[in-house]
Chains A and B, each alone.
Chain A
Amino acid sequence: MLNNSVESEQKMSEFEKTLDENGPIIQAKGVEVYYGEKQALFGIDLDFQKHQVTSLIGPSGCGKSTFLRCINRMNDLVDIARVKGQVIIENQNIYSNDVDVVALRAHVGMVFQKPNPFPKSIYDNVAYGPRIHKTVTSKDEMDYVVEHSLKRAGLWDEVKDRLQEQGTGLSGGQQQRLCIARAIAIEPKVILMDEPCSALDPIATAVVEELIDELRERFTIIIVTHSMQQAARVSQKTAFFHLGNLVEHGDTDQIFTNPQDDRTENYITGRIG
């Protein structure tokens, strides 16, 4: 018993060491975002480690979603948005001119607040990414990817007998897990989640949170959430944004028991600052 725990502790510390040696998978350096004249983000420097879940928290309009969207260049889709600074994913600045945005988004998947399955069958929803990115060619292989992704998203047992039914016919929680299955079908490195549970009931939320914890073994996850309890439950690191600034970033335990900045304290304790 004792040996086991010593062994597992050793394994853990080796594991953590490997993480450190690998360095951050994503580095944001001096990221600034302007919507027209208005500056929405001010010089954000933030690193994300592999296989960790990071929560981005802060009041509405603080820039956390804007920042999340910088990580897969979703802000490109907003005409008036301009992004300055660098976002480096595995040594590649994703804002350099030679980056293929479509390929980038294959590496950085995204799950949105409102489940948004395509008006297609459950099967085709999951197969969509591998098809357009041509990561899978044969029918057998595609069957495998669809099954495997749905299993990893914890949805397989519920839908295996009706894969040809419309994805939009599923319940909210199932739809959200379908979207997660769709995101992981192309084996991204990073998954971005923008309030993935805010439209779900507590049970569906718990299922998704459990899923996030399992997915962490393979992916790096960044989640924007308005629920402090959720951030405390699912993430290892937490970053607090306020008025476009990154105020505080640290271990989730520390942020929620002993934040260093008064603005963080006021926000998470529900005080009028």
Chain B
Amino acid sequence: MNKDAHIVTSFDNDLKTVETLVLEMAGLVEAQVNDCVTCLLKQDLELVESIRASDKRVDQLETEIGDMAIRILVQRQPMAQDLRAVVVALKMVSNLERIGDYAKNVAKRASVVTELTPLGSSNETISRMSEIVQEMIKGVVDSYVARDKDMADHWRHKDEDVDLIHNTLFRELLTYMMENPRNITSCMHLLFIAKNFERMGDHTTNIAEQVHYMVSGALPDDDRAKSDLTSSITVDLDE
């Protein structure tokens, strides 16, 4: 992308400010995701409050970036890469905000889950899933900073791994529920948690596509492999 300066310096400053705010927001959301995993796996319930607090700031940033973007649209009537950067910032913040919400939801469930008996390897599986999601978020944000569409594409495809783990976990938890109805409470919570991570992956994928668009002016043209099969998974009772 063209990195020449604008004739109007304050336009450069405006765009820089938007980017800085988006990065601040992304940083907070990344931390929320890390913290929710810690809540869940290390039973650190104090972190729940800190996630809630940071969620307020995330929402605030979403509004702030939205206002700033609208102001730029009105005042500068940006074209080409500037237009794309502003529109993409608007879309990115919606996705980031959703990711933050999912992290908050995971953290809220942590207090329930810690009182329940661990089931098989489900904790490890969720841990693995969350690790990939965390890597994806970090990678995609890096690709935004670097204006690197290949890097964005790389992380976009990682979502396939998240979906595959989600499928496996879904099957596994169904089996536990069938083995013993007492497992249902834990399993339901774990299923929601897994679903939350799966959704975080999807939103991160959206961001990756937006970064691709911002850099190249076109959305990625390949259809990403969709691997989430949970909507059609069934388990036979007679097994």
Contact of A269 among B6, B216, B217, B218 (CB under 8 A): B6
User: 1/0 per residue B6-26: CB within 8 Å of A?
Assistant: 111001000000000000000
Contact B83 A265, beta carbon cutoff 8 Å: no
* A272 in contact with B4 given A257-B217, A258-B217, A258-B218 (CB within 8 Å): yes
Residue on A with the closest CB to B77? A229
Q: Beyond A228-B77, A256-B79, A258-B216: 12 further Cβ-contacts under 8 Å?
A: A257-B83, A257-B84, A258-B84, A258-B218, A262-B2, A269-B78, A269-B79, A269-B80, A269-B82, A270-B8, A272-B7, A273-B4
Query: Roughly how many angstroms separate A272 CA and B5 CA in the complex, as a whole number?
Result: 6
Tell me which residues across on chain B come within 8 A of A266, comparing CB atoms: 2, 4
Residue on B with the closest CB to A258? B217
User: 1/0 per residue B212-238: CB within 8 Å of A?
Assistant: 000011100000000000000000000
Residues of B within 8 A of A (CB): 2, 4-8, 11, 77-84, 216-218
Tell me which residues across on chain B come within 8 A of A264, comparing CB atoms: 80
* A270 in contact with B6 given A256-B83, A257-B84, A257-B217 (CB within 8 Å): yes
The 8 closest A-B pairs by CB, nearest first: A258-B217, A268-B79, A271-B4, A269-B82, A265-B2, A269-B80, A270-B7, A256-B79
* A258 in contact with B80 given A265-B2, A271-B5, A273-B4 (CB within 8 Å): yes
Query: Roughly how many angstroms separate A269 CA and B2 CA in the complex, as a whole number?
Result: 10
Query: Roughly how many angstroms separate A232 CA and B80 CA in the complex, as a whole number?
Result: 12
B46 to chain A: closest CB distance in Å? Answer: 47
Tell me which residues across on chain A come within 8 A of B5, comparing CB atoms: 271-272
Tell me which residues across on chain A come within 8 A of B77, comparing CB atoms: 228-229
A206 to chain B: closest CB distance in Å? Answer: 16
Residue on B with the closest CB to A264? B80
Q: Is A63 an interface residue (CB 8 A)?
A: no
Query: Roughly how many angstroms separate A257 CA and B82 CA in the complex, as a whole number?
Result: 9
Query: Roughly how many angstroms separate A232 CA and B11 CA in the complex, as a whole number?
Result: 21
Tell me which residues across on chain A come within 8 A of B2, comparing CB atoms: 262, 265-266, 269, 271
Per the 8 Å Cβ criterion, residues 241-273 of A in contact with B are 256-259, 262, 264-266, 268-273
Query: Roughly how many angstroms separate A257 CA and B83 CA in the complex, as a whole number?
Result: 7
Between B4, B7, B8, B79, the greatest number of chain A beta carbons within 10 A of the residue's beta carbon is seen for B79
Contact of B80 among A229, A265, A272, A273 (CB under 8 A): A265
Contact of A270 among B11, B84, B216, B217 (CB under 8 A): B11
A130 to chain B: closest CB distance in Å? Answer: 41
Query: Roughly how many angstroms separate A273 CA and B3 CA in the complex, as a whole number?
Result: 10
Per the 8 Å Cβ criterion, residues 120-179 of A in contact with B are none
